[in-house]
Amino acid sequence: MKIVIANESYFKYSQIICDTIEESAKVRGTGIAKRTTEYIEKRLKNGNAILALDGDKFAGFCYIEVWGHEKFVANSGLIVHPDYRGQGLAKQIKKAVFELSRKKFPDAKIFGITTGLAVMKMNYELGYKPVTFSELTDDPEFWKGCQTCKNFDILTRTETKMCLCTGMLYDPHAKKKVEDSNLNTKAFTRLKSIKEQLFLKKKEK
Ligand SMILES: CC(C)(COP(=O)(O)OP(=O)(O)OC[C@H]1O[C@@H](n2cnc3c(N)ncnc32)[C@H](O)[C@@H]1OP(=O)(O)O)[C@@H](O)C(=O)NCCC(=O)NCCS
């Protein structure tokens, strides 16, 4: 398995990346925004993306986005092809995209939003902390990226204050505290279920 920093020579993978994201969104039913090939190619071209390849075969992907004049960067769109899941590949991609973000934007706060417990666990191990949406970028363009997520109406109703996703942030300038490096997954599963009951019930009324 090769983990590479993307460039234009990887454009041939943009379609399979979009298709895998779309298929996974259908299967999971929540919390994944669709992306176009143009959108993916822009990230491949500017070297702000990581690809995992098994020989020539697409295995996984994640990209960096820059917000608020480089004060914030987001690590988004993590996807592992179903054939390669459960082998620690997402963890390797996440680590590579995190290291690339730190190298290219050393002073930026790194953040992500997710409904996925797997992603929360990986972020936590990298030093991210759960935060409210108000601590993330206030750039409206970031939230526009959620328009193709099926829960976008919740985000609109709450004026981008909360949604089913949890915000997580790595602050390079925060003082490191010695604490448990394991995420309290029980608490987050419970929180997600409370949010679903609250927001999805309202939606049905
Ligand atoms: C989520 C996803 C990226 C995980 O990829 P993967 O390569 O199978 O993950 P890894 O094998 O590297 O596992 C990383 C950690 O997450 C855990 N994990 C993986 N899938 C999980 C799941 N569905 N639920 C809970 N934990 C999970 C693993 O146990 C591992 O934790 P550990 O180190 O404590 O054992 C992959 O399932 C995927 O592409 N899903 C669809 C897209 C998606 O949900 N993207 C995230 C959008 S925010």
Confidence of residue 150 (pLDDT cuts 50, 70, 90): confident
Whole-number Å distance between alpha carbons of 120 and 128: 9
Closest ligand 1 atom to residue 79 Cα is 39
CA of 119 to the centre of ligand 1 (A): 6
Closest CA to 76 of 106, 14, 32: 32
Which residue minimizes the CA distance to atom 34 of ligand 1? 121
Confidence of residue 68 (pLDDT cuts 50, 70, 90): confident
pLDDT score of 25: 83
Per the prediction, the chain carries an average pLDDT of 90
Got the DSSP string for 51-85? EEEETTEEEEEEEEEEETTTTEEEEEEEEE-GGGT
| Distances from the Cα of 153 to the Cα of 50, 174, 203, angstroms | 30, 33, 9
Q: Each residue of 156-169: pLDDT tens digit?
A: 999 999 999 999 99
CA of 122 to the centre of ligand 1 (A): 8
Which residue minimizes the CA distance to atom 31 of ligand 1? 118
Pocket of ligand 1 (CB under 6 A): 24, 28, 32, 78-80, 85-91, 114, 116-119, 121-122
Mean pLDDT for 87-116 is 96
- Identify whether the C-beta of residue 64 lies closer than 8 Å to the C-beta of residue 75: yes
42: which DSSP letter? H
| Distances from the Cα of 102 to the Cα of 50, 62, 96, 134, angstroms | 14, 15, 10, 22
Mean pLDDT for 134-147 is 89
Whole-number Å distance between alpha carbons of 98 and 89: 14
Closest ligand 1 atom to residue 125 Cα is 33
Beta strands in the chain (DSSP E): 2-5, 49-54, 57-67, 72-80, 109-114, 129-131, 166-170
Confidence of residue 201 (pLDDT cuts 50, 70, 90): low
CA of 69 to the centre of ligand 1 (A): 31
Residue 177 scores a pLDDT above 90: no
Closest ligand 1 atom to residue 27 Cα is 41
Which residue minimizes the CA distance to atom 28 of ligand 1? 118
Q: Each residue of 6-62: pLDDT tens digit?
A: 999 999 999 999 999 999 988 877 667 788 999 999 999 999 999 999 999 999 999
* Domains of the chain and any CATH numbers: 2-204 (3.40.630.30)
Tokens, residue 158: 């709450």
Of 23-37, 61-75, 94-108, give the lowest mean pLDDT range: 23-37
Whole-number Å distance between alpha carbons of 201 and 28: 19
Burial class (CB in 10 A: 0-12, 13-18, 19+), 132: exposed
Mean pLDDT for 100-104 is 97
